[in-house]
Amino acid sequence: MHPDQNKKKGNAWTLAGMAVGIAAMVIGLVFLFGFKDETFYGSTVRLGTAVYGADFYTDIYKSTTFAANALKDIYEMLSTCFGVLFLLLGAIDLCAFGSRLQPKQKAAAVPAAGPVPVPTAPASPGPSAPERPEEGDDQPL
């Protein structure tokens, strides 16, 4: 298989992973803001107390409202927790797959064929060797 095809497959899977992360984040937003059960009773309404002529009915109603309000609180807590969980997992997924995304590489420009510059000798000569005394020069060093 050609190396470019491997890169294309890798990028396709990376993009698919990023799409899953985006979908998870959308689901998290739906859980947080849109998935509230307001058909039966609104999210701000809580069951209150009522007093009946007999103590038995009043006590049963208090127990029932306590249980119903507790279930509503659990439902709201779970929808918030799942929303945050999906948002967090989606963000982690986007970061993980986004770091592996490889940008498309443009074709390298081919230089025009022309004369190749030749390095020239330096303008000033380097340090020269110390001069030796001529034969016959009897000078002390």
Residue 4 placed within a domain: no
Q: According to the model, what pLDDT value does residue 86 have?
A: 94
Encode pLDDT of 66-94 as tens digits: 888 888 888 888 888 999 999 999 999 99
How far apart are the C-alpha atoms of 56 and 52, rounded to whole Å?
9
| 30 in any annotated domain | yes
Task: Name residue, tokens 């107390």.
Answer: 49
Sole residue written with tokens 């020239």: 120
| Residue 134 within a domain | no
Residue 93 tokens, joined: 């997924």
Instruction: Classify residue 52: in a domain, yes or no.
Output: yes
Domain boundaries, position 40: 10-99
Is residue 20 included in any domain, yes or no?
Answer: yes
Model-level pTM? 0.55
Q: Report if residue 56 sits inside a domain.
A: yes
